Amino acid sequence: MSSKTNIWSRLIDRTRHWQISTRLTIMYATVIALLLACTSIATVAGMYFVIYHQAEREMQISIANATKRMEDPEYMANAPNKVQNISEDILLPGVVLRVENSQGDIVYDNDRHFAPITELRKHIVDDTSLWATDKYKLVRFRHFMIYYHEIPLDYNGKHYTLCFSRVITAEREMFAQVQATILIGCVIGILLVIAIVYLGIKRAFRPIRSFISIAKSIEVSDLSARMEVPPSHDEMTELATTFNRMLDRLEDGFKQQIRFVSDASHELRTPVTVIKGYADMLSRWGQKDEAILQEGITAIQSETEDMQELIEKLLFLARADQNRQIVNKVALDLAEVVDDVYKKTKMTAEHHTVKLLRNDPGVILADKVIMKQLLRIFLENGMKYTPEGGTVSIDSHKLPGYMCVEISDTGIGIAKEDGEKIFQRFYRVDSSRTKAAGQPGGTGLGLSIARWIADNHDIGISLESELGKGTKFILMIPLLKEN
């Protein structure tokens, strides 16, 4: 039992290594073979009943007719007068009847040319073929097949034997012919099905083979290969399009990653170079010259702060990219957040006027710390890109379903063509502008962090700006509920 299971499981295991096209072909061929077998069996059975069973029925009817008539005393009384017509009355065509008396003489015979009873009895065969009925004996005489049946009959105190015969050679040959034709038809049909299915499946799987070879050729260093999209509109087209789109996204992602790493290294190189320069200067002259010592320490402190800020931003984006940035959303009053950020900004703003024009209460679902960070990015940018003496203002008011927070400044403005680009990582409109204006140089990361926070809170950001006049960032923050 276990060895049988073993062989079976080994067989199944082996099929797992076959190509899908081979497996599908075998599956289809098996299904078609089963269907053909079923229809062939049904056809053969039908043929048997229509052609072959017909002979058996004719025999049966003739026997029934004859025995019924012979039990009729009136018919038997007149029988000798119409001996010649007996067959026309009771026997179906093809059925031969002979009546034998107890001495073995034939007293009635409706076909004198038919083989003698003694020969028939001699050639009775024991055939258990499927097609043969067991109701009658089977006689194989020369090249004939004959159904043979005897019925004893006692009449007027004498004993007779009714011997019925029916030649079935033609039926048998026809039946054998039909069986052979069906068998050949089935074999040809199955071979044709195998060929058609195999070629069809091979053709249908062609895109998959191209998919495999392209997938093999793809390297992290080269993601440019694309699958050929088949002209049909089926699953293969969908697979090719989806795979190509996935490659597009991966390629974009990798390019972005490479750009990000190179931009980040570039940004970090400047402060590290400056720090190294000052450290060299300090080691040479700092110990003796108090002024140089102070200048060096201040510069190193300032550069370290810038570098720390950059690293914090990079870490934030790295966490965001890996979905590791914790966002703890709770219901909170936006007015409190705005008020807090406004007060702290106002305190640190030495050269600008910071105004809070409106601060409507409104409950939103947000992470308090990240929400403050979002507002701070816009306020700090407002001051960074507004010349000294300018104004940065916050206007937070309620609209149906939203809190609308507008952060405006009277600064240098943003050109229309830069409107979307400023949200990209490391993008700065013109870094020299800010440096020249005596402001701290930016990293180009603030607004990309703002965009990520906004996306995570379903906040819409829009922008109105005019060069030389100022910029207004508008945040549409969904309200938790109408209040």
Residues lying near ligand ADP in the complex (CB under 6 A) are found at 381-382, 384-385, 409, 411-414, 422, 427-429, 442-448, 471
> What does the alpha-carbon distance between residue 82 and residue 279 come to, in Å, rounded to a whole number?
145
Q: Please name the residue that has the structure tokens 């097949």.
A: 145
Pairing assessment for the beta strands 330-333 and 158-167 based on DSSP bridges: unpaired
Query: How near is the Cβ of 409 to ligand ADP at its closest, in Å?
Result: 5
Shortest Å distance, C-beta 424 to ligand ADP: 8
Name the β-bridge partners of 108.
99
Q: Which is nearer to ligand ADP, 114 or 260 (CB)?
A: 260
What 3-state DSSP class applies to 421?
Answer: helix
Which CB atom, from 96 or from 407, has the smaller least distance to ligand ADP? Answer: 407
Q: Which is nearer to ligand ADP, 296 or 413 (CB)?
A: 413
Nearer to ligand ADP, 218 or 429 (CB): 429
| Closest of 198, 235, 203, 202 to residue 28, by C-alpha | 198
Question: Helical H runs in 282-404?
Answer: 290-321, 334-348, 368-384
Measured at the alpha carbon of residue 424, what is the angle toward residues 423 and 430, in degrees to the nearest 5? 85
Task: Report the residue closest to ligand ADP, judged by CB.
Answer: 442
CB of 284 to ligand ADP, least distance (A): 33
Shortest distance, position 408 Cβ to ligand ADP, whole Å: 9
CA distance 458 to 469: 29
3-state helix, strand, coil in the chain (%, to 5): 55, 20, 25
How far the first Cα of the chain sits from its last, in Å, is 75
Of 247 and 414, CB closest to ligand ADP: 414
Q: What angle do CA 351, 352, 356 make, to 5 degrees?
A: 150
Nearest CB to ligand ADP, comparing residues 52 and 452? 452
Contact 443, 310 (CB under 8 A): yes
**Residues 77 and 155: beta-carbon distance below 8 Å:** no
Q: How far is Cα 129 from Cα 171, in angstroms, rounded to an integer?
A: 14
Q: How far is the CB of 437 from ligand ADP (least distance, A)?
A: 11
Residue with Cβ nearer ligand ADP (198 or 427):
427
Least separation in angstroms between residue 465's CB and ligand ADP is 7
Minimum gap (Å) between residue 266 Cβ and ligand ADP: 14
